[in-house]
Chains A and B, each alone.
Chain A
Amino acid sequence: MKVSDIINSLDLELLCGQSGIENEITGGYVSDLLSDVMGNAKEGQVWITLQTHKNVMAIASLKDLAAVILVKGFNPDEDTVKQSNQEGVPILRAKENTFEIAGKLFQLL
């Protein structure tokens, strides 16, 4: 499954990082603790979080994650958007909270 597939299936809003929408998805990871993601997320996973600052994209890029889903309609910071575009790691916005969107993604994968 690709990032573009989950955008359609889960009705997510593609905010930035368009060049990464063909990234292949291997799974998902849910955490708002950055060093937890650093230690435990795996390449190709989609990271669901409520953190909106730029370091999210640094971590997503260093770990080669497929995409980041921001929950509850949150807005990424301006420099977060910039880095998402530079690195080609898409940020997708969900209306749902973490529990709901993680459940939907889990079922889809």
Chain B
Amino acid sequence: MHFEFEIEAGDFSKLGFASSQLKTILKQLLGDHKVIRRVVVALYESEVNVVAHAYSGKVIIDINTEKIEIEIDDKGPGIEDIQLAMEEGYSTASEKVREMGFGAGMGLANIKNNSDEFYISSEVGVGTNLKIIAYLK
């Protein structure tokens, strides 16, 4: 199964659409499976990062009997030091974003902890690409 969603940066009112759709789809496919909460957490945090830090983004989801694969690709400022960005507590979130309770610097760590495989690549001035894989068994 293949799904695609667009993410609009800066628009916190539409934030979470892709993860909520994914939750509904997976519940229909798998019933009450513990992988569901992990992948929706990982996708939600990825959506937040596009909305908070990038300009626009795309979510591509592929589901088969073995695994769930999610790619989040954005156009944005990119990340200069990925290792630093992965550290819990590091954040460049704006004051407006922090007031809403985002910007703890925990999002990327949450994504990693809630996936079986996690790949991140980024080019400064171009954008960031995340790949999240979770296995059903």
Q: Is B40 an interface residue (CB 8 A)?
A: yes
Q: Are A79 and B48 in contact (CB under 8 A)?
A: no
A45 to chain B, nearest CB (A): 13
B94 at the interface (CB under 8 A from A): no
| A81 CB → nearest B CB, Å | 14
Chain B nearest CB, measured from A42 CB (Å): 10
**Interface pairs A-B: 10 shortest CB-CB:** A58-B16, A35-B106, A33-B104, A39-B110, A34-B101, A51-B101, A35-B107, A62-B40, A35-B104, A32-B101
Answer whether A62 and B19 are a contact pair too, CB < 8 Å, given A39-B113, A51-B100, A53-B12.
Answer: yes
Contacts of B100 in A (CB 8 A): 34, 51, 53, 55
A24 proximal to B (CB < 8 A): no
What mask results when residues 53 to 97 of chain A are scored 1 for a CB within 8 Å of chain B, else 0? 111001101111000000000000001000000000000000000
Which bracket fits the contact residues of B? 20 to 34
Chain A interface mostly: helix
The minimal Cβ–Cβ distance linking A100 to chain B, given in whole angstroms, is 21
Contact between chains at A33 and B106 (CB < 8 Å): yes
Find A36's partner among B13, B16, B41, B106 (CB 8 Å cutoff): B106
Count of A residues near B, CB < 8 Å?
20
Query: Is B15 engaged at the interface, CB distance under 8 Å to the other chain?
Result: yes
Give the distance in Å from the alpha carbon of A10 to the alpha carbon of B13 in the complex.
32
In the complex, whether A13 has a CB less than 8 A from a CB of chain B is: no
**Which residues of B are interface residues toward A (Cβ below 8 A)?**
12-13, 15-16, 19-20, 23, 37, 40-41, 44-45, 48, 100-102, 104-107, 109-110, 113
Residue in contact with B23 in the complex, picked from A49, A53, A62, CB distance below 8 Å: A62
- Complex Cα–Cα for A30 and B106 (A): 16
Are B104 and A59 in contact, with the CB atoms below 8 A? no
A1: B residues at CB distance < 8 A: none
- B33: min CB distance to chain A, Å: 13
In the complex, the answer to whether B41 meets A63 with C-beta atoms within 8 Å is yes
22 A-B pairs (CB sep. < 8 Å): A32-B101, A33-B106, A34-B100, A34-B102, A34-B104, A35-B45, A35-B102, A35-B105, A35-B106, A38-B45, A38-B106, A39-B113, A51-B100, A51-B101, A53-B100, A54-B12, A55-B12, A58-B16, A59-B44, A62-B41, A63-B41, A79-B13
